[in-house]
Amino acid sequence: MDVIHTVSELRTRLREERRVALVPTMGNLHEGHIQLIRIAKPRAACLVASIFVNRLQFGPKDDYDRYPRTLDPDCEKLAAAGCHVVFAPNEKIVYPEPQTFTVDPTASLQNILEGEFRPGHFRGVATVVLKLFNMVQPQVAIFGKKDYQQYLVLRDMVRQFELPIDIIPAETVRADDGLALSSRNGYLSALERVEAIRLYQALHKIRGAIYAGERDFAKLEREASAQLDAAGWKTDYVAVRRQQDLLEATTQERRLVVLGASRLGSTRLIDNLEINL
């Protein structure tokens, strides 16, 4: 496996590759990231994982400075999974000058849910991913559904810009107790880790109620938020939305997703579950 730090080296390495798959990451990899590599394997001859902690997608109250940088163990995991190239640029490579040109996602998708609580986040995500697409020039890119809203933003960006890239969504990888794997789970204390499954349980309860026929989505959202907060969480949102665009769901919708974001101690956790009626 090649570990490459500059765009010129990357393009030289990939020049003769006919079909490239990209898995963009911020490092501090877990089994969920490795699953993306496995999904990419049958879809391309060359698998590239990028590792870059993107300052543009972090707000002033986010954890950019403390986000773990673990390049060596990340490379060991990627090599064992069969990755061919790790592209690990530094900030001066990705942003050699101030990034005054940015990608501004559709307001109806960018400014709701995560976007409401993290203003500018999806602008930063879309901008860096478009840059990575231009650097790597893949034919396939894999994104996990754990970051559901992010996946939709990037799917729509590729479609509207007519980029020749197949966007493949990957199902969320979970621990045995249901907790969605996330790099931020490492911030949890031992007691918080036990408590952390409550968010998944709340979303799972809503999904079960909808499958059982409940259609008062606002009531389900209020009850779940109240239960989380009563347990000491600080909930940003629990929302039942349409899968295709995350707009408000009507009772006639057949393809729904319930999403939640809540803070446990100092760690903000997000999760979602699809509902197909």
Which residues form the catalytic set? 33
Contact 239, 113 (CB under 8 A): yes
**243/237 Cα distance (integer angstroms):** 16
Characterise 267 by phi-psi region: left (phi > 0), alpha (psi -120 to 50), beta (else).
beta
Q: How many Cβ atoms are within 10 Å of 226's Cβ, its own excluded?
A: 12
* Partner residues linked to 140 by β-bridges: 21, 166
Which residues are bridge partners to 4 per DSSP? 87
- For strand 85-87 and strand 46-51, is the pairing parallel, antiparallel, or unpaired? parallel
CA 172, CA 182: separation in Å to the nearest integer? 10
